[in-house]
Amino acid sequence: MKLVIEKLSKTYPGGVRALDEVSLEIPRGMFGLLGPNGAGKSTLMRTIATLQEADSGSVILEGSQVAGRIDVLQEKERVRGLLGYLPQEFGVYPRTSAVRLLTHLAALKGVGRNGRERAEVVDRLLERVNLSDVKHKGVSTYSGGMRQRFGIAQALLGDPQLLIVDEPTAGLDPGERNRFYNLLAEVGENIIVILSTHIVQDVKELCTSMAIIDRGRVLASGSPLDAEESLRGKVWTRTMSKQELQQRDWAYPILSSKLVAGLPSVRIYSEEEPQGGWRSAEPDLEDVFFSRLSSSHS
């Protein structure tokens, strides 16, 4: 099973070209859509989730055992039958308990043939996202991480083949983020999961394939490990004073600068060994991200 996106474009009425001939092949497993704010991630996710129209291009789901071939942009009802979606803003969190709210959503989605079956599905899902202990508490009292786990539970109602999660880790603390990663990794084993994020670590830890997008265009796609490997021998690092970092006119593109014990540790891109005491650095996904962004802006 895979999702094939071809030349998908969308321009908003104000003239912003949010998607500019996006073409991607998204296989089964965890797929990371990485890009800065405003890159077009939500537009792409909402289009795949049939909540928004594109201007041109196609999205085809191929090889689903349940449904065969589906033209996602045309056959919206069929897509909705096998889609789970966790939007960036899940909206209001009612005082209703998790178990009641999920039961209600299950009924809306037509899950289960009767009340007893629905109750079983709901209990199983709340167990799976580790909310059983607090299932009778109001969802409005939940922490950010618990809300996101509840969000996954509702997205998993009806056993989706395609799960779309939009910026799910924004605002989570490290412990909650880890719990959320574990949950998603387990879910993503058998279905297509598309995760959008501006956090490089999300993709690094979770995703077997990814794309980097910016200003509506795909800048890179493939496996995160291959992308890192493509930068081997081209990333250099050095610690310097803040003044030096600000004053110098850099001959090489700066990938990132982070404070290490109060001093900027700078990483640059250069195909040859640069002058001036730089050490070769192990490339990481963050270097890939920033090198693609900076070359597309220059």
Binding stretches for ligand ADP (CB under 6 A): 12, 14, 16, 18, 35, 37-43
65 vs 78: CA distance, rounded Å? 13
Q: How far apart are CA 5 and CA 71, in angstroms?
A: 10
Residue 101 or 172 having the CB closest to ligand ADP = 172
The Cα-based distances of 268 to 38, 213, 258, 264, 280 in angstroms read 25, 21, 12, 13, 10
Write down the least CB distance from residue 35 to ligand ADP, Å.
Answer: 5
Based on CB atoms, which residue is closest to ligand ADP, 38 or 253? 38
Which of 128, 129, 127 has its CA nearest to residue 148? 129
Q: CA 126, CA 59: separation in Å to the nearest integer? A: 32
Q: Which is nearer to ligand ADP, 72 or 102 (CB)?
A: 72
Cα(282)–Cα(7) distance, rounded to whole angstroms?
34
In the complex, minimum distance from the CB of residue 201 to ligand ADP, in angstroms, rounded to a whole number: 17
**Cβ at position 40, least distance to ligand ADP in Å:** 4
Choose between 19 and 192: whose C-beta lies nearer to ligand ADP.
19
Shortest CA distance to 131 belongs to which of 158, 152, 150?
Answer: 150
Query: Given the complex with ligand ADP, which of 37 and 275 has the nearer CB atom?
Result: 37
Give least dist CB 55 to ligand ADP, A.
13
Cβ distance to ligand ADP smaller for residue 41 or 267: 41
Kind and range of the H or E element at 263?
A: strand 263-269
239, 263 in Cβ contact below 8 A? yes
SS3 160: coil
Residue type, 195: L
Alpha helices in the chain (DSSP H): 41-48, 76-81, 98-108, 115-128, 144-155, 174-187, 200-206, 224-229, 242-247, 285-297
Q: Which is nearer to ligand ADP, 38 or 144 (CB)?
A: 38
Q: Residue 109 in contact with residue 85, Cβ under 8 Å?
A: no
